[in-house]
Structure 1
């Protein structure tokens, strides 16, 4: 498509923009990423993949020297 609305633009009139707090694009972007981060739900790993990762981490902990 020729036009992609990424959700940060404000097409309101100046008066409406000002009445709604006058947030610039940087402020809108910050609110957007914070909302996305707060609502993030990590995807569930298949049980076999989860077990394989746990085994890998345990093996690497045994193999690597302890660091302080």
Structure 2
């Protein structure tokens, strides 16, 4: 039996660090009528620092799902 086809939901936007006050979750409507929420993450720093943090975050995310 194979793994189900998966969807990775994410969003990115660069904003001035001193302008961000609050970050919430993003709703995702599911085909069965239920709603899921995507936790938003904030990475701050230079381009290189953000890229490195993003890579670590993605790697850590998939560590939660070793069966994939």
Q: TM-score, normalised by structure 1?
A: 0.32
Q: TM-score, normalised by structure 2?
A: 0.32
